[in-house]
Amino acid sequence: MIIKRTAAAVLFALILLSACLCGCSPAPEKGFTIPVSPIERSFYELCKKQYMDTELEQIYSLMVEENDMAKLDKSYPVECLRKDKDGYHIIYCGKRKILLLSFDQNAAFTEKPKLESIFFVTKTRGYFDELQPGDPIAKVQSIDPTGFYPFLIEGSDAPKVSEHFTEDGYHTTIAYDADLNIMSVDYDVA
């Protein structure tokens, strides 16, 4: 009798535990195979696989050429999905670079040039803490010479904003005035 009660209690506990695990885990985001990644964890914490630079370029090319999320996820499983005001971003990590694939609010792929999709990863966020409004762009470039400075490439019509991804998982955005002095420095977990 005691064995039957113990077995019944264990069985009930297992059923309850499995129901909680199945019901409590977040559902995949519509149009994707995984839920939106927790903001408390950086992309480097979420990405279990690190890709070589050439593999990041292959992943980019696969998405641009085929625009097939299922095929992408089958070949290169999605491990980090972020959502912001513009839509969604999938991040693939490399040793020195990351690939950022962008999607609109409806989960449709938004093709961007490779230069605006593959970014070098730089030092930790702490290096950017020393930057202050009024500092020249040269100070930023001394901290991150490989950052994304599109206004220096595309001409004066591009917004004067640089982007930097750090090895501790932060996305730093720096806005500049007409004289290329810092106006603001903003951080978020990438």
Residue 80 shares a structural domain with residue 129: no
Which tops the pLDDT comparison, 136 or 25? 136
Count up the domains in the chain and report the number: 2
Q: pLDDT class for 22, splitting at 50, 70, 90?
A: very low
Last residue of a domain, one of 120, 138, 156: 120
Per-residue pLDDT averaged across 140-153, rounded? 93
Say if 11 falls within a structural domain.
no
Please check the confidence at residue 142 and state whether its pLDDT lies above 90.
yes
Say if 84 falls within a structural domain.
yes
Residue 114 shares a structural domain with residue 52: yes
Q: Which two tokens stand for residue 82?
A: 């972020």
What is the value of pTM for the model shown? 0.78
Q: pLDDT class for 127, splitting at 50, 70, 90?
A: very high
- Look at residue 133 in the predicted model and tell me its pLDDT: 97
Last residue of a domain, one of 120, 136, 169: 120
Residue 83 Rama label (left phi>0; alpha psi -120 to 50; beta): beta
- Residues in contact with 121: Cβ distance below 8 Å, sequence separation at least 6, in sequence order: 94, 96, 97, 98, 165, 166, 167
Lowest mean pLDDT among 1-5, 71-75, 90-94: 1-5
Range of the domain at 107: 43-120
Question: What is each CA distance from 41 to 146, 169, 186, in whole angstroms?
Answer: 24, 8, 18
Per-residue pLDDT averaged across 154-177, rounded? 89
Residue 51 shares a structural domain with residue 115: yes
Please check the confidence at residue 120 and state whether its pLDDT lies above 80.
yes
